[in-house]
Amino acid sequence: MSLPELTELTLPATDTQIAPAALQDSRGERLAWGAAVAAVVILGYLLVLSVDPRFFYIDDTESGAVPNWLQLGRIMRDGHFPSLVLDQWMAGNYPVEGQGGLWNPVQMAINYISPSIDNLVLLATAVKLGFSILLAWGVYRVALVYGARAHWAAVAGASAPFVGFTLFFENTSWVTALMGTAWIMNAWASSVSYARGRSGPIVPFAFLYLAISVGYVHAAVMAGVMIGSVAIGERLFQRLWRPALKVCAVGIAAAACGAVTFLPGVLTSAVTWRSGDEGTFNDNFLTAPWSESLTASIPTAVTSIESWAGETTESPVTYIAWFVVPALAFIAWRRVPTALRELAAPLIMLAFALIFTAGPSDIGPIRWPARILPFVALIALILVVTLISRYGTLDRLRPRLLAAGLLTLVLLLRAGSSGPEFFGRHVLAALVILLVGALALLLAHRFSTRATAALLLVTIAPVAMYQVATYEPPFAKWWLPASQSEAKAEFPQWQGATLQLGSRALTETEADGPDDPRLPWDSQVYGNSAKIMGLDYANAYTPVGYLDFANLLCFEHEGSTCKDAFRRVFEIEPYTGKTYADLMQLDRIVLQKNQYPLANSRPAPAGWMWVTAPTPASARQIYVLERVDGLIPATSGRVVATVDATAEPRSSDPDSEHVDVSAPNGGSVVFSRLAWPGYTATLNGEELQTKGLADIFLYVDLPPGTENADLHITFRPPGERLGLAAMAGGVMLLAGLVVLDVRRRRNSSYLEFGAGTSNR
């Protein structure tokens, strides 16, 4: 029996007619299906929240990203450009951290708004929803430019935020990854449109720059891969070099403008944990073998990908969409080769993503290749809906039904091998796929493929809801307070600089919920939780660290310390004769009772005293040391020690110090600052060399004969000048591309006008 083709009279692409299927849809229809995409994403979020109200506020989002937004927003509102936050020590160098998005205007707008929003769960969810819709629209747009009908493109777009890795990794924890992917997909669509003469260079440049300046290295890598793939693809498809060169030029302009985001981190890496990120190796952590793709359409399948959850990640992180694999049976594959040149870009990107995600686990500073799994899923969605749009068919139905059944069986068997304990639910999922798939085919036959697409759209959100209700993300919930006011209500509002000595591993991590009394959030800080309350803690989350300072107090990335840190912080630094606590200008030290159960039974160190924790809840969990003489005056600046010299602070701010100094026989001035690369010093305008005391604390040597001299210390992130120069070059290149595009459009208009005149 032969039935109508699913393409509904669409034509195969030719060398001169690009994406004819999409051109059959009116502008109004494309807008309507685009609105449907957003509606499905919103519905999916609402259904997920109905089963887990904090699903979008987990792990790095609650402990890292959102508190960063708050602090950076407060700094901006004070009229400063965020740079150093000195009392956070190794976690306070925001240009090096990169992921603060200091050069990303959208991220900075989020930062600026964030302090005004008390409910942090709402803030995180709203931001992620916005970027999920942006991601969905980006995938929708890419599918359209490659020839998918609007209704099929909508299916791909609406599925995008709910593919497994995006749902369980990025929507829960890694928000910067979600942002980067959303910008890249829109940059992709706009780059193809620019290459094909439908738009100018400004829009693809803007999306590319936003993707790069998020500060997420995998997004920057994939932005480059995307531009290279599009350039190759358009060269093959249009058989002209000019479209490829245009795309490459836009990519170069965006990369030049985005370099300032990464240069400080690269040029500072020698003193950070990243100094050891050399070489390539594979420990299988967050690598995704190709065989994991065989579970792409089983929503119940767990994976054999090793993560923090163990050697098996018991959540469906390789899931794409239940219909993707069975749909392959309904494509007229003999006709597909005619479109391969046009589809070269997504095919190249898919090949790269599959190779990359399979390992190795570390390539220098680029680690955990499974982070690229969303691109595998998104490109697969785009290719499948494009091929269905252009070459879908119900001809020779029985063999195709058999093929679809066999594909579903393969999915079932592969899911059973990864998670045999869930085999019953895998079987049920396979049966549902077959039943709903049969209904989709019936709708296509009786009505139209628009009805089929509508059915698929309706299924997306309930599947996501089921997965969230059934599976846990591979991250632990910290159960941090859900609002700024709640965080501040019970926590001591200490003034001055505080160092906490304790380990998150010794806290109760198996809490039943946010009200569990075992949680430490009324007395202790880990991650960036101190930033929520606006308190000056040395403990904060950092992905880069400062190696020697971290070794001094055995700091972990989330602010934990080892038991020996208490002894070390009161050791005498031999050159200055001061303790490290003094060199850090600490006003208070908080000790976790679980790590130091008998700490207050010993005498307090000289110059310090034990004080009572301010609330009963905090008294159960911490001991507190404070200086006998009270808080260090703010007027003292950051000069913390002198050797054979005198120093009188004149002014001090995070990025500079002015000090009047004297050292008749030569001497040194030591600052309570980490010796980050980027510091410069002048004495009466003459440059001095900056040094690191114990490779940690910034200091300068004064020459003999120094009398009442002006010592000026300034900090500027290394590479910032070079980055700004590159940005200027990128803007100039973009301006040149705009001029060329305007001339092209004018010439096209003249040619059209001339042709019209001659016809008359």
**Tens digits of residue pLDDT in 222-272:** 999 999 999 999 999 988 899 999 999 999 999 999 999 999 999 999 999
Q: 277 or 416: which carries more pLDDT confidence?
A: 416
Q: Is the pLDDT of residue 18 over 70?
A: no
Q: 367 or 541: which carries more pLDDT confidence?
A: 541
Extract the tokens encoding 712: 């000026």
* DSSP 3-state percent helix, strand, coil across the chain (nearest 5): 55, 15, 30
Q: Are 606 and 581 within 8 A, CB to CB?
A: no
Radius of gyration of the chain (CA): 29
Range from 132-146, 192-206, 607-621, 697-711 carrying the lowest mean pLDDT: 607-621
Which pLDDT belongs to residue 509? 61
**Tens digits of residue pLDDT in 645-680:** 999 999 999 999 999 999 999 999 999 999 999 999
Q: Are 158 and 40 within 8 A, CB to CB?
A: yes
Extract the tokens encoding 530: 């101190």
Q: Is the pLDDT of residue 21 over 50?
A: no
In this prediction, residue 12 has a pLDDT band, given cuts at 50, 70 and 90, of: very low
d(CA 185, CA 37): 15
Range from 11-15, 47-51, 158-162, 490-494 carrying the lowest mean pLDDT: 11-15
Which pLDDT belongs to residue 752? 55
Q: What angle do CA 256, 77, 544 make, to 5 degrees?
A: 50
Residue corresponding to tokens 């089983």 = 298
Relative to beta strand 588-592, strand 498-501 is parallel
Whole-Å CA distances, 427 to 107, 431, 466, 730: 44, 6, 16, 54
Which pLDDT belongs to residue 745? 81
pTM comes to 0.93
Which pLDDT belongs to residue 600? 86
**Tens digits of residue pLDDT in 437-478:** 999 999 999 999 999 999 999 999 999 999 999 999 999 889
Q: Is the pLDDT of residue 755 over 80?
A: no
Q: What angle do CA 622, 625, 629 make, to 5 degrees?
A: 155
Which pLDDT belongs to residue 14? 33
Which pLDDT belongs to residue 309? 80
> Which neighbouring-strand residues pair with 363?
280, 366
Q: Is the pLDDT of residue 588 over 90?
A: yes
d(CA 632, CA 585): 7
d(CA 570, CA 550): 15
Which pLDDT belongs to residue 598? 87
Which pLDDT belongs to residue 362? 84
Selection from 357, 397, 403 nearest residue 377 by Cα: 357
What mean pLDDT is reported for the chain? 91
What number of other Cβ atoms are within 10 A of residue 725's Cβ? 13
Which pLDDT belongs to residue 749? 61
d(CA 477, CA 144): 39
Which pLDDT belongs to residue 3? 39
Q: Is the pLDDT of residue 1 over 50?
A: no
| 73 class by beta-carbon count within 10 Å (0-12 exposed, 13-18 middle, 19+ buried) | buried
In this prediction, residue 294 has a pLDDT band, given cuts at 50, 70 and 90, of: confident
